[in-house]
Amino acid sequence: MTSPHRPRVVIVGAGFGGLFAAQALARTAADVTLIDRHNYHLFQPLLYQVATAGLPPSDVAWPIRSILRRQRNTTVLLGEVTGIDRQRHSVQINERAIPFDYLVVATGSTHSYFGHDDWQSFAPGLKSIDDATLIRRRILAAFEAAEMEEDPQRRARLLQFVIVGAGPTGVELAGTIAELARFTLAADFRRIDPRSAKVVLVEAGSRVLAAFKEPQSAYAQRALEKLGVVVRVNALVTGCDAGGVWLGAERVASATVIWAAGVAAAPAGRWLGAPIDRAGRVLVAPDLSLPEEPTIFVIGDAASITLADGRRVPGVAPAAKQQGRFVAGVITDRIAGRPGTRPFVYRDTGNLATIGRKRAVIEFPRLTLRGWLAWWIWGIAHIYFLVGVPSPVVVSLRWLWEYLTYGRGARLITGAEHAD
């Protein structure tokens, strides 16, 4: 490269993909700029614990600045990216333009309400710390309002929680809310019995955890039902409002509806004017660059990648991390004058989902397991995941403590909203 300055690498998004790319560029002779609209890197796999009052937000998110404070070649900017100018090679943060020689777009995904965006205010999804604290507030406020409520019908509505979507996040939320009601809150109220709360898990498809094999799905459904969760499969939500959801003509009354049903890519495709798939993910070349634009890469949940064997790379954290490291390697090679191209190779690390505090299902490439042992493997895998973020030991210990005591340390209602 003949530019008068050191090559400038701009990374948009400090999630798993973007952060791992930035860290892998630590020794590259380049100036790296990492931009995120939040000042924290979020560990999404444990976000449901914040939403269900198990962990405080500070245990699942860490300031990006502090993670990268020793990385001298990297600047962190807090800002909402609003566009990308491919001609000028710059990223827009409102009026400001940040120039780049190499760009990595790692903006992740967002909720999809399948064309019903007006449902969002009644049924928040779980993607950010703000989402998690909003859901936590709604769950806890519903129990408080039920304690005050005299009318049995309204009380029943307050004590009915609906989760839409039975993928891993929906299953985790349903199991944990059921346990919150059955164990943690059981002795805390006088006028209501929190154990009478009902959790309804609604799934449009024919089984829970559809990404897993059938026996695992069946096991997960049985485990949820043992916790008192009502599982409704083949049930399509056709309406959602302040009173609950509609499943066709059937009304399921609820003051707390949580959306865990669909994801859509953040607007990277629109910014780049690049081809996208049905979920809005950018279709990238085998080396994760834009076709005919070898200096712009899209990775993680924002990218759609089909491998040589026809498999699609799933939207999971290990895939985003692997892609982050991979593009950092490609960029480092180009800067060092080693052009050439090689395709991204995905190493499948398997599928895991937990059902409450005792059961989980796992499908590793060579091992399929369910039950309590799977739960412990799930737990250890998440602790292993935490390596690389600040204080993994503290988080793991706090989490273990919550597990052993059924404590719900983060049970504060903050913010203005109340259930009614």
Ligand X SMILES: Cc1cc2nc3c(=O)[nH]c(=O)nc-3n(C[C@H](O)[C@H](O)[C@H](O)COP(=O)(O)OP(=O)(O)OC[C@H]3O[C@@H](n4cnc5c(N)ncnc54)[C@H](O)[C@@H]3O)c2cc1C
Positions that interact with ligand X (CB under 6 A): 12-18, 35-38, 44-45, 47-48, 80-81, 106-108, 126-127, 168-169, 266, 300-302, 315-318, 320
CA angle 44/48/53 to nearest 5° reads 130
Taking the complex as a whole, the smallest distance from the CB of residue 200 to ligand X amounts, in Å, to 19
Taking the complex as a whole, the smallest distance from the CB of residue 101 to ligand X amounts, in Å, to 20
When the beta carbons of 137 and 157 are compared against ligand X, the nearer one is 137
Taking the complex as a whole, the smallest distance from the CB of residue 339 to ligand X amounts, in Å, to 26
Taking the complex as a whole, the smallest distance from the CB of residue 254 to ligand X amounts, in Å, to 20
Taking the complex as a whole, the smallest distance from the CB of residue 49 to ligand X amounts, in Å, to 10
- Look up 150 and say whether it is catalytic: no
When the beta carbons of 139 and 317 are compared against ligand X, the nearer one is 317
Phi and psi at 384, nearest 5°, equal -60, -40
Structural contact between residues 80 and 164, judged by C-beta atoms closer than 8 angstroms: no
Query: Residue with CB nearest ligand X?
Result: 15
Structural contact between residues 268 and 17, judged by C-beta atoms closer than 8 angstroms: no
When the beta carbons of 299 and 419 are compared against ligand X, the nearer one is 299
Output the CA–CA distances (angstroms, integers) from residue 170 to 79, 89, 119, 254, 257, in the order listed: 30, 40, 17, 16, 11
When the beta carbons of 158 and 296 are compared against ligand X, the nearer one is 296
d(CA 274, CA 282): 6
Q: Which residues contact 269 (CB under 8 A, 6 or more apart)?
A: 275, 276, 280, 281, 282
Q: Which residues contact 229 (CB under 8 A, 6 or more apart)?
A: 174, 175, 178, 199, 200, 201
When the beta carbons of 124 and 244 are compared against ligand X, the nearer one is 124
DSSP H helical ranges for 40-187: 47-51, 64-67, 129-148, 152-158, 168-179
- Which listed residue (95, 144, 147, 172) is catalytic? 172
Burial track 375-412 (b if 16+ CB lie within 10 A, e otherwise): bebbbebbbebbeeeeebeebbebbeebeeeeebebbe
Which residues does the annotation mark as catalytic? 172
